[in-house]
Structure 1
Amino acid sequence: MKRSNLLIGIDVGTTAVKTGLLDQSGQIRGFVSRPCRTMRREGGIVEQNADDWLQPIEDAFSQFSDEMKNVAAIGMCSQVNTHIFVGKDGNPLAPAILWQDVRADEEARELDAAVSHEQRIAWWGAPMPIDASHVLSRMLWMSRHRPDIWQDTAWVMLPKDYCAFKLTGQLATDGLSNIGLVDQQLRPIPDVLKLVPGAADRLVPVREVLSVIGEIRAGPAAGIALANGTMDGWTGLLGCGAATEGTTAYLSGTSEILGITSQSVEPTPGIIVFPPCQNIRIHAGPTQSGGAAKLWYGQLTGQSPQEMATAAAASDFGKPAPIFIPHLQGERAPIWKSHTRGVFLGLDHTTSAADMARSVYEGVAFSVRLLLQALQHSSGISSGPIHCGGGGFQSDVWNQIRADILGRELRRVAVTDTGVLGAAGIAACAVGLHPSLSAAFEQIVRFDAAYQPNSSLKSRYDALFDIYVNAIDANEALNRAFLDVAKLSIDAN
């Protein structure tokens, strides 16, 4: 059956599964978002039920049923590093281990210590770490702590790959989503997989990002091609315009993700350099907590996101707010320390509720500035506007704070969920509607707002940023000591 040029993009995110119906120019024709329930337990355990991701997708397909005859292809991206241990029957053996989960910290440090700097450069082209969210760390943890599950595991899947398997019956993953397991040609590295016995046997077959892995088997979308796609970070960065060389892109969701597109590479600790895909080479890093810090503070104080934004705007910007370190469950790029924890520094009797809200916004922006410095060193790119997207960019006051702290113009993408836009663009390329990713995203990425940095605040934010960095270092030993005490408390109970 001949189909027209509508597309569906799916983003299996941490807080919600979002599905958009788009035309080939990137205009949203329909949008469905359903929240995801996250379970948190002592010991740094963060989980979701994998099957909870499927119903929102099916609901969206039903809502778009009248337009399905006009849909050319479906694309999907998802959160990483989130892992599902799946049995031979294709069903999960345990809840999905989310990227925020740090239960495998000990295993990660053991694996990381076993890999030399020279091996990292030879394998990955950059000195990337093995942290608690790395699939090998999770595999080693499962083999030690739940050997029954490890024994019965047929595949360790990422969310998009699990959903695609359920929708099409086809097993497939992609190399970009498996960064840390693949080489510069996006092929699995045997010597890396050997670090954990049995890892290679449980890896889902790797296929190209732009390949069509199959057709939807049932329901309103039956017969429509599903593109393989890739991780939400890379996909969302494309949705911000990162397909163009020299672009700096910034995603704000549950975490903050930055990327710079550059063929030049200066190996830099803490930075992920993705292998080229269609001649697009992205240097990137995810923080651990962006929107998650805002959500935490809002829940703590009983404020909605809009109420928090209103409060922050009422703060007295004529004086510094307390410095907030947003390491609520460790930090990823660029420091990759799962034991670090959050801090409010500089509280006194004059600190207001408005100052505290502003402090959370500023702390997240400082974490992004630290990451941006490392990315600029890695990529050799340090100028130009920053293209911004994601739900975290809906607050004007927060956007202005970010522009002031980063010292760069921010340009906001018109589509709120750039992961949905990116997934749709990849799907369009997979079925030949565009000749390349660069051509596709040049056509569909548009901007609706810009924020210029306030030069009068530069010296203050420069000084506060220096204190922020020093505070992370100064709290290193205290964080470890606190976690040791917390562990004793858990054991006593």
Structure 2
Amino acid sequence: MAGPFLIGVDVGTTSVKTALFDAGGALCAQRSSMIETARPAQAFVEQAPEDWISATLSGLAKVLHGVSLDAVAGIGLCSQVNTHVFVDANGQALAPAIVWQDGRCAQEAAKLDRLVSEEARLKWWGAPLPIDASHVLSRIGWMTRAHSDIWRRTRWVMAPKDYCLLQLTGEACADPLSSFGVVDSSLRYVDELIALVPGAAERLPPLRNPTATIGRVRGGLPGAGLPVATATMDAWAGMVGAGAVRDGDAGYLSGTSEVVGIVSQRRVPTPGVIAFPNCEGVMLHAGPTQAGGASVAWLGGLLGRSAEEISALAAKSDLKRPAPIFLPHLQGERAPLWDIAARASFAGLDASMGASELARSVLEGVAYSVRLLLGALEASSAVAATRLRHAGGGAHSGVWCQIRADVLGRPIDRVANLDSGVVGAAALAGTAAHVFGSIEEAAGRMARIERTFEPNVAMRGYYDEGFGRYTDLYARLKGFGGRESENLVRP
């Protein structure tokens, strides 16, 4: 094999993926390690940060086996965001990481949210973005209240990839995109907001751009001496890895959650949407739902079936027969609703329905949640998305891809390498190492379309009606989930 090679690492919610690519985007080696998630109490969702770096190091050793380090141009890391680990001055995690799905900090979020005016939100973020239970300041507020001893020992509050970068290079940093909730449109920390939580400012890492080289892998570790780029969050990197980087491009990433984004230099303040600042020439309007692949995994666990078997079951369902409407709010909902109290539901069940109808209902319900989000993104970006570049584990299923195309009424362009996070992280590393002249060039060379799913026009009326029932069901059930988890503290 001839270089230059690039390495991408994606510290995801369910696994850590590491891949070695050539500069044309060809996959040369890969490794995936599963990550365990604990749910020790209602609303608590945790991971062990040590598992992230252990999986990263083993992944680097695997993909570098037999490869000359002189042929490797650099390493880039991306990760899940709104997952936070509290780290001491020696770089050691002081507690399990609080995962983005975790809702324990709803009380702190509500207090902070009431302190911020809509005018301030528009000035900072260009959109009325809420402060929710996954916001870093909500997490800090909870830790100061529930575990003041840990807070006193905390030196840094970090995202997963920044924790791993610290372990790899010894350098503490963050990027402005992963830190979107506390960074303004100038890519700087919002001092006025951060000051609402005493002690937060000095514990947030210094910011570096995604294509900056922050250091080199320390001696004694796999890849010692290789340059490491800051890179960024999984969604932004995934859009790069899917090839959605030019104005008017739209991307759809299907993983544990569904993430949709539209690139546009225009910004129309729209509730529920994250309008990222212009960074490296890309302005992304995006939003994550709460449970995409997680909904399939949940149903698969109930039925004793794999994700592939759930898709196969859905394919057996007779479209001439009705299926229930499914709200995929298994742990609340994020974009565009941002409703931590929302709860999942099947509606319209009858005795004639079985496992295949439930499977189709879940796939359709997740697609409906994306249709709702896409409408908000089109309003925010002033762009009508004519087609979507599609990646992520959920894109493996051709059945689900076709359902998405039919529900959204747009062509779905599935890319060749569905692990777009590692592709994007590698592309950012290549840009940092000057293998590519720009992010646009990197995405153009590394992301290729494998198959297009065209919407079936005969299904338009069926899914328009289904989407209407979906939105009506949420409106009717809003508030039915019972008491929120805001007062829960670890037992």
TM-score between both structures, scaled by the size of structure 1: 0.96
- Taking the TM superposition and a 5 Å limit, the aligned residue runs for 1:379-390 are 379-390=381-392
**Alpha carbons 2:273, 2:336 under 8 Å: kept:** yes
Q: What aligned pairs does 1:179-258 form with structure 2 within 5 A after superposition?
A: 179-217=180-218, 218-258=220-260
Query: Which residue of structure 2 lines up, in the alignment, with residue 170 of structure 1?
Result: 171
Q: 1:374 aligns with which of 369, 373, 376?
A: 376
Match of 2:303 in 1: 301
Q: CA-atom RMSD, angstroms?
A: 1.5
2:458 aligns to what? 456
Verify the 8 A CA contact 1:65 1:221 in the aligned structure 2.
Answer: no
Q: Distance in 2 between matches of 1:368 and 1:435?
A: 33
Q: Distance in 1 between matches of 2:57 and 2:345?
A: 42
Task: Name the CA distance, whole Å, in 2 between partners of 1:72 and 1:234.
Answer: 21
User: Displacement of 1:134 after TM fit?
Assistant: 0.3
- The answer to whether residue 323 in structure 2 is matched with residue 321 in structure 1 is yes
Count residues in correspondence: 486
The partner residue of 2:416 within 406, 410, 414 is 414
CA distance in 1 between counterparts of 2:478 and 2:59 reads 46
Contact 2:103 2:486 in 1 (8 A): no
Matching residue of 2:65: 65
For 1:12, the equivalent position in structure 2 comes to 11
Residues of 1 paired with 2:441 and 2:3: CA distance? Answer: 19
In structure 1, what is the Cα distance between the partners aligned to 2:53 and 2:195? Answer: 33
Q: Distance in 1 between matches of 2:33 and 2:275?
A: 32
For the 8 Å contact 2:300–2:310, the answer to whether it is kept is yes
Contact 1:68–1:220 (8 Å) recurs in 2: no
SS of match in other structure, 1:177: coil
Deviation at 1:353, TM superposition (A): 1.0
- Cα contact 2:3–2:22 (8 A) shared by 1: no
User: Percent identity over the alignment?
Assistant: 48
Equivalent residues of 1:88, 1:154 under 8 A apart: yes
Deviation at 1:239, TM superposition (A): 1.0
Which of 285, 290, 293 matches 1:291? 293
228-237 or 64-73, larger mean C-alpha shift? 64-73
Written as runs of structure 1 = structure 2, the 5 A alignment for 1:74-89 is: 74-89=75-90
Q: Tell me which of 443, 458, 471 is aligned to 2:445.
A: 443
What do residues 205-243 of structure 1 show as CA deviations (whole Å, max 9, x unaligned)?
A: 111111101000133300000000000010001111121
State the 1:487 CA deviation: 9.7
Q: Which moved more, 1:440-449 or 1:222-231?
A: 440-449
Displacement, 1:43?
2.5
Gaps of 5+ in 2: none
Query: Corresponding residue for 2:398?
Result: 396
The 8 Å contact of residues 21 and 29 in structure 1, kept in 2 or not, is answered as yes
Partner of 1:90: 91
Q: Which residue identity does 2:480 align to in structure 1? A: L
Deviation at 1:151, TM superposition (A): 1.2
Asked if structure 1 preserves the Cα contact closer than 8 Å seen for 2:76 and 2:429, the reply is yes
Amino acid at match of 1:192: L
Deviates more, 1:449-458 or 1:255-264: 449-458
Q: Which residue of 2 aligns with 1:117?
A: 118
Partner of 1:106: 107
Give the counterpart of 2:262 among 256, 260, 267: 260
Shift in alpha-carbon separation, 1:106–1:68, aligned structure 2, 3 A: farther
Larger displacement relative to structure 2 (106-115 or 257-266) = 106-115
Offset of residue 42 of structure 1: 2.2
SS in structure 2 of the partner of residue 266 of structure 1: coil
Q: Say if 2:475 is the partner of 1:483.
A: no
Residue 251 of structure 1 aligns to a residue in which SS? strand
> Per-residue deviation at 1:68?
4.0
Aligned-partner Cα distance in 1 for 2:108–2:406: 39
The CA distance in 2 between the partners of 1:487 and 1:385, in whole Å, is: 39
Structure 2: distance between partners of 1:230 and 1:98: 17
- Separation of aligned partners in 2, 1:199 and 1:220: 33
Taking the aligned partners of 2:340 and 2:159, their CA distance within structure 1 comes to: 21
User: Any conservation in 1 of the 2:3–2:23 contact (CA below 8 Å)?
Assistant: no
Determine the structure 1 residue equivalent to 2:470.
468
Maintained 8 Å contact 2:6/2:75: yes
What SS is found at the alignment partner of 1:299? helix
What is the CA distance between 1:383 and its match in structure 2?
3.4
Deviation per CA, 1:438-476, whole angstroms, max 9, x where unpaired?
A: 111112110111111111111121111111111111111
Q: Distance in 2 between matches of 1:193 and 1:487?
A: 21
Q: What SS does structure 2 have at the residue aligned with 1:207?
A: coil
Q: Secondary structure of 2:66's partner?
A: helix
**Is residue 2:141 matched to residue 1:140?**
yes
CA separation in 1, counterparts of 2:459 and 2:27?
A: 37
Contact 1:247 1:261 in 2 (8 A): yes
Task: List structure 1 runs of 4+ shifted beyond 6 angstroms.
Answer: none
Q: 1:302 to 1:326 in 2, by over 3 A?
A: same
How far is 1:36 from its partner? 0.2
- Which residue is equivalent to 2:42? 43
Output the CA distance in 2 between the equivalents of 1:128 and 1:68: 46
Cα deviation code 1:404-460 (max 9, x no counterpart): 100000000100200000000000000111111011111211011111111111112
**Post-superposition CA distance 1:334-377 (Å, at most 9, x none):** 01011111000000011121000010000000000000000010
Q: Which amino acid aligns with 1:213?
A: I
User: Residue type of the partner of 2:44?
Assistant: I
Determine the C-alpha separation between the residues in 2 that align with 1:89 and 1:411. Answer: 45
